[in-house]
Amino acid sequence: MKRQIPTLITLVAGLFCLIGFFVPHPAIRTLYDDIQQWVIVIVGATYVLGVANLLRINLGQMSARARDWPFKVVLLVGLIGTTAIGFSEGTHYLDPTSRFTWIYNTFYSSMSSTMFSLLAFFIASAAFRAFRIRSFEALLLAIAAFILMIGRVPIGNAIHPAIPAAADWLMEVPQNAAKRGILIGAALGVVATGIRLILGMERTYGGRGAGGTS
């Protein structure tokens, strides 16, 4: 019973949404819209669940004095402080002069963009240490990479206009052909997996004791 009901919910919701896509009758379309609006709310709740889980795990690690536990204090102070300040602002939480926006600009935005900017250094290091041209295929990859790297920036045009032209051709013809093949293959895979999910043939989300396919 505990496993059948979720499978039934998935089947009914999935089939109904598939039918609702093709049938514009108002009675079906109304319920179709309602179900999708409900899921928007439920998805929002999953984000809150994720944060609650983060809170639970880090509180546990902090009280157990696990490795690096002082940093968990920092995490919890950041989480609780930001949440408290945000809720204290009410619906004006994202106004330009609010304290919540200040936290966003000072902490969230600056650290988020810096974290990702670290990748520039690692891609340069990896280009030296890991990019090995050991086969014809790797050589093709390298040539395409060179043409793109130089052709898509102004220095390519300054060296010779043929370089950006070659980069454009590369993107519009051979790259396009391969990407389209991948797109079509992926689309077929998504359709097949989606049908399997709706029909309950993929039960990996079942939790403890569930899983496996049939």
The smaller minimum CB distance to other proteins, of residues 63 and 172, is found at 172
- For the CB of residue 74, give the shortest distance to other proteins in the complex, in Å: 5
- For the CB of residue 75, give the shortest distance to other proteins in the complex, in Å: 4
77/71 Cα distance (integer angstroms): 10
SS3 123: helix
The smaller minimum CB distance to other proteins, of residues 162 and 184, is found at 184
* Amino acid in position 188: L
The smaller minimum CB distance to other proteins, of residues 118 and 214, is found at 118
The smaller minimum CB distance to other proteins, of residues 64 and 127, is found at 127
Residues sharing a CB contact under 8 Å with residue 87, sequence separation 6 or more, in sequence order: 93
- For the CB of residue 110, give the shortest distance to other proteins in the complex, in Å: 4
The smaller minimum CB distance to other proteins, of residues 162 and 188, is found at 188
SS3 108: helix
- Burial of residue 28 (CB within 10 Å: 0-12, 13-18, 19+) is middle
* Amino acid in position 140: L
- For the CB of residue 148, give the shortest distance to other proteins in the complex, in Å: 3
SS3 117: helix
164/169 Cα distance (integer angstroms): 9
Angle 206-213-21 from CA coordinates, rounded to 5°: 75
- For the CB of residue 59, give the shortest distance to other proteins in the complex, in Å: 12
162/168 Cα distance (integer angstroms): 10
